[in-house]
Chain A
Amino acid sequence: MAKIVAVTGNEAVANALRQVNPDVCAAYPITPQTDMMQRFSGFVSDGKVKTEIILVESEHSSMSACVGASAAGGRVITATSSQGLALMNEILYIASGTRLPIVMPVVNRALSAPLNIHGDHSDAMGARDSGWIQLWSENAQEAYDNTIQAFRIAEHMDIRLPVMICLDGFIISHSIERIEYLEDEQVQNFVGEFKQLYPLLDLAHPVSYGPLILPDYYMEFRKAQAEVNTKVPEVVLDVAADFEKISGRKYGLFETYRLEDAEIGIVILNSAAGTTKDVIDEFRNKGIKAGLLKPRLYRPFPYVETGEALKHLKALCVLDRADSFGSSFSPVYMDIASSLYPYNDKPILINKIYGLGGRDYLPEHAEIVLNELIDIAETGNVKSYKEYIGVRE
């Protein structure tokens, strides 16, 4: 029986990690993640998990400790935010290149400078090419569910890649919501026993991790890594199907909302999708065919499936809580544009940047965007392809 509770996003994810009971956790505090790892360290102190916890001196060291623990054959977790993820950057590539199935919740927060502790996707966007799988979560329930599924995806024998679970800092990490917990036993059965693959110090099967590979084989190695990524979407869907059986909750590569017959649409990640869905309902009530697509598996990005889901629209706006300085458009926009490129008939695509550094995303912002899309769909005229919204000019 599912247990219904009122908890914060951090608490929900910490509880998922407790239910999984990993072998090793390396932790270093950073707002707004701190409370998640602190709760987990409480589970360690209280003997509720058998996890070996390492309180390290920086995120560079926490991810390095995870690399060591995972290569040694453990089921390994950490969690971070913002500057912590940025500081890990070097080791993120080593974790994915070494094919270590580390699981890491990332509580999304803006990057310095200027220093800001609030919700923003710039941190995880900076890691989007690091070879990690990224699952994004609209609310505490999705963050909890994604965390449990992440272990199965990361540890799948065809995949063996690290996974980040992204949730919005403060908006989700610190807000209390109604969520449904699975039973501990259900979670443990779902994730199963951790299966080692080439652990260090297996004397019968000696291995070296991360050796120097020069031009002779480096490119073959990278191609193999790229090919593994192509297998991820299918595994994500298989795991989601199994998860539905125990939870009743359905997950895909992305979520569509009233999109099938829509003429205008919005693509938006994480918590702001919830606000947007409400506004879409209001527009639908007025007879306007609006819909939404919320990416879940953002890395590797399912280009074909996403393009298929969006190609019928007349006008589409990608709203991003991060910019990509120096490239003309924001991160998610560029992926959506790539997914639509093969089609001759495709929507007119515009880009809005919202909510940086925790700036509120309000229903009226979605209304402004939808009204603009109605106009574009009717006239074909675009006044601005990229714009910051909710900003002082």
Chain B
Amino acid sequence: MKKIVFKRPESLKKEPFRYCPGCGHSLIHRLIAECIDSFGIRGKTIGIAPVGCAVFAYDYFNIDMIECAHGRPPAVATGIKRTRPDKIVFSYQGDGDLAAIGTAEIIHAANRGENISVFFINNANYGMTGGQMAPTTLLEQYTSTTRSGRKPEIHGYPLRIAELLSTIEGTSFVIRTAVNSHKNLMNTKRAIEKAFRYQIEDRGFSLVEILSQCPVGWKMSPEDSLKWVDETMSKIFPLGVYKDKFKEAD
């Protein structure tokens, strides 16, 4: 009998990913689905799909999901979790969603210490609309709206969400990871697991910021985009745990 060493998580539908070649979204979807499976919570997990590249997240996750207005997932998650506290609620948001149009919602959900898990995908540009500058775009980075590179005096600075949210008292677990190498993928999976576990244990608000390669938006080959995460992006957005309120209890 053949031993099965790799299979589709039950929390993913039998639907091929339609993301661009080399994009990090499909990897992150899979990691989240594996964690939902491993906790055995597929039957009680509710996901929130963003507006952005991952707008079709509900086509892939084999769980109930709700699509809401751009930037509002943390508020909608709050409503779901307060109504059904026994359910596991996560939002999946990009940088246009969470770090631009929805900054008010994420800050206040974090400040209320809502018992939800937020997966924040930072790819340093607005991918879906065609690679425009995002608040997370690096200085000097070319985008379709910063053709001479991002200039701080005109466009401001890259917004560091993990650092920002870690200063808010209401947050429990804030971490930044990446999905550009096997090691980083495993770290991201552990972070996603912890974010779900904290919610299951009623430990409050978790945010996992995940640096995700966007070869099409960055105008790079998939391979170069993996390197760029290490060599350039993570210099501005350093990986690591920014806050873990229950570290000692663990």
Q: Is B193 an interface residue (CB 8 A)?
A: no
**Which of A30-38, A250-258, A307-315 binds B?**
A30-38
- A91 → chain B, closest Cβ, in Å? 14
Closest residue of A by beta carbon distance from B100 = A57
Q: CB within 8 A of B67: which of A42, A53, A113?
A: A113
- The answer to whether A115 and B144 have CB atoms under 8 Å apart is no
Q: Which residues of B contact A55 (CB under 8 A)?
A: 132-133, 145-146, 155
- A211 → chain B, closest Cβ, in Å? 26
* Docked pose: A113 CA to B128 CA in angstroms: 19
Q: Is the interface of B mostly helix, strand, loop or mixed?
A: loop
* Docked pose: A83 CA to B146 CA in angstroms: 24
Q: Which residues of A contact B69 (CB under 8 A)?
A: 83, 87, 112
Closest residue of B by beta carbon distance from A61 = B101
Contact with B along A93-134 (1 / 0, CB 8 A): 000000000000000000011110000000000000000000
Q: CB within 8 A of A27: which of B51, B55, B145, B148?
A: B145
Q: Is A271 an interface residue (CB 8 A)?
A: no
Q: Is A270 an interface residue (CB 8 A)?
A: no
Contact with B along A28-65 (1 / 0, CB 8 A): 11110011011001100110000001010111000000
- The answer to whether A45 and B147 have CB atoms under 8 Å apart is yes
- The answer to whether B103 and A34 have CB atoms under 8 Å apart is no
- A30 → chain B, closest Cβ, in Å? 7
- The answer to whether A58 and B55 have CB atoms under 8 Å apart is no
Contact with A along B138-151 (1 / 0, CB 8 A): 00000011111000
* Docked pose: A320 CA to B93 CA in angstroms: 35
Q: Is B126 an interface residue (CB 8 A)?
A: yes
- A49 → chain B, closest Cβ, in Å? 14
* Docked pose: A87 CA to B67 CA in angstroms: 17
Q: Which residues of B contact A35 (CB under 8 A)?
A: 130
Q: Which residues of A contact B67 (CB under 8 A)?
A: 112-115
- B80 → chain A, closest Cβ, in Å? 15
* Docked pose: A306 CA to B129 CA in angstroms: 40
A contacts with B, residue count (CB < 8 A):
24
- The answer to whether B129 and A45 have CB atoms under 8 Å apart is no
- The answer to whether B148 and A45 have CB atoms under 8 Å apart is yes
Q: CB within 8 A of B144: which of A38, A59, A83?
A: A38
* Docked pose: A190 CA to B101 CA in angstroms: 37
Contact with A along B102-116 (1 / 0, CB 8 A): 010000000000000
- The answer to whether B70 and A31 have CB atoms under 8 Å apart is no
* Docked pose: A35 CA to B148 CA in angstroms: 18
- The answer to whether B145 and A41 have CB atoms under 8 Å apart is yes
* Docked pose: A137 CA to B101 CA in angstroms: 29
Q: Which residues of B contact A112 (CB under 8 A)?
A: 67, 69
Q: Is B71 an interface residue (CB 8 A)?
A: yes
- A169 → chain B, closest Cβ, in Å? 14
With A57-B135, A83-B69, A115-B67: A34-B129 Cβ-Cβ less than 8 Å: yes
- The answer to whether B148 and A29 have CB atoms under 8 Å apart is no
Closest residue of A by beta carbon distance from B126 = A29
* Docked pose: A58 CA to B99 CA in angstroms: 10
Closest residue of A by beta carbon distance from B144 = A38
With A42-B147, A55-B145, A113-B67: A31-B100 Cβ-Cβ less than 8 Å: no
In chain B, positions 146-187 with a C-beta closer than 8 Å to chain A are 146-148, 155
* Docked pose: A59 CA to B202 CA in angstroms: 36
Q: Which residues of B contact A87 (CB under 8 A)?
A: 69-70, 101
- The answer to whether A30 and B148 have CB atoms under 8 Å apart is no
With A45-B148, A57-B101: A29-B70 Cβ-Cβ less than 8 Å: no
- A39 → chain B, closest Cβ, in Å? 10
Q: Which residues of A contact B132 (CB under 8 A)?
A: 29, 34, 38, 55
- B159 → chain A, closest Cβ, in Å? 9
- B79 → chain A, closest Cβ, in Å? 15
Contact with A along B82-120 (1 / 0, CB 8 A): 000000000000001000110100000000000000000
Q: Which residues of B contact A37 (CB under 8 A)?
A: 145
Q: Which residues of B contact A41 (CB under 8 A)?
A: 144-145, 147
With A38-B132, A45-B148, A57-B135: A115-B55 Cβ-Cβ less than 8 Å: yes
* Docked pose: A31 CA to B130 CA in angstroms: 10
* Docked pose: A55 CA to B101 CA in angstroms: 12
- A312 → chain B, closest Cβ, in Å? 46
Q: CB within 8 A of A31: which of B129, B133, B144, B148?
A: B129
- The answer to whether B101 and A58 have CB atoms under 8 Å apart is yes
* Docked pose: A60 CA to B115 CA in angstroms: 28
Q: Which residues of B contact A59 (CB under 8 A)?
A: 101
- The answer to whether B129 and A83 have CB atoms under 8 Å apart is no
- The answer to whether A29 and B129 have CB atoms under 8 Å apart is yes
- The answer to whether B101 and A38 have CB atoms under 8 Å apart is no
What are 12 A-B pairs at a CB distance below 8 A?
Answer: A29-B130, A35-B130, A37-B145, A38-B132, A41-B145, A45-B146, A55-B146, A58-B71, A58-B101, A59-B101, A83-B69, A83-B70
Given contacts A41-B145, A53-B145, A57-B101, 8 further A-B contacts (CB under 8 A): A27-B145, A38-B144, A55-B132, A58-B101, A83-B70, A112-B67, A112-B69, A115-B51
